[in-house]
Amino acid sequence: MSIKNAVRGSVRMSHVQAVIFDAFGTIIRIENARHPFRQLLKLGIAQGRRPRSDDASALMSHPWSLAQAADHFGIDVPPTELARIESELDAELAGVQPFTDALSCIEALQARGLKVAVCSNLARPYGAAVKRIFPGLESYGFSYEIGTLKPDRRISTMQC
């Protein structure tokens, strides 16, 4: 059953007080993905840095800019290359859009008196995009702010 049908009342929600959504892939999409943090890590590989299994987790559990991430990973990024990757990030963020029914779904939930929040594993620059598109949510739980990733309970309990 779709979220929209649930909101319309075909699912009993009398005991529900709040709804927490994930961001990307649930209520938001990136129209033209450029993968700037992946580009940064690939630059590190070109410099001889071996990728680690926790690289993505590190990026999403710290409030780093691209330059700060490069410093953390020991990646030497010339200023012109950093500017290019930052431009890619800006273009990607400009392409962040809500799914067609996400805005109306969230408005319908709020109109029924439900609290709506978002809880997502993401890098710092993407949090601002979520808040730009959904400015009126009850709370925002972003992994880079909390310092841990889902499914760690701390990220979801921060929403309550």
Residues 26-44 have pLDDT tens digits of 999 999 999 999 999 999 9
Please check whether residues 106 and 123 belong to one and the same domain. yes
Q: Of 94, 122, 139, which closes a domain?
A: 94
pTM for the full predicted model: 0.84
Please check whether residues 57 and 101 belong to one and the same domain. no
Please check whether residues 8 and 55 belong to one and the same domain. no
Please check whether residues 20 and 40 belong to one and the same domain. no
Q: Of 67, 94, 121, which closes a domain?
A: 94
Section 47-57 average pLDDT: 96
What CATH number has the domain bearing residue 131? 3.40.50.1000
CA distance 7 to 3: 6
Please check whether residues 84 and 10 belong to one and the same domain. no
What type of residue is 52?
A: R
Q: Of 76, 94, 112, which closes a domain?
A: 94
DSSP string, 72-139: HHT----HHHHHHHHHHHHHHHHTEEE-TTHHHHHHHHHHTT-EEEEEE---HHHHHHHHHHSTT-SE
The per-residue pLDDT of the chain, averaged, comes to: 90
CA distance 76 to 137: 39
SS3 18: strand
Residue 159 has pLDDT above 70, yes or no: no
Residue 9 has pLDDT above 80, yes or no: no
Tally of domains within the chain: 2
Residue 153 has pLDDT above 90, yes or no: no
Cβ neighbours of residue 80 under 8 Å, at least 6 residues apart?
A: none
Structural domain boundaries enclosing 102: 3-31+96-157
Beta bridge partners of 98: 28
Please check whether residues 86 and 43 belong to one and the same domain. yes
What confidence tier does 10 reach under pLDDT thresholds 50, 70, 90? very low
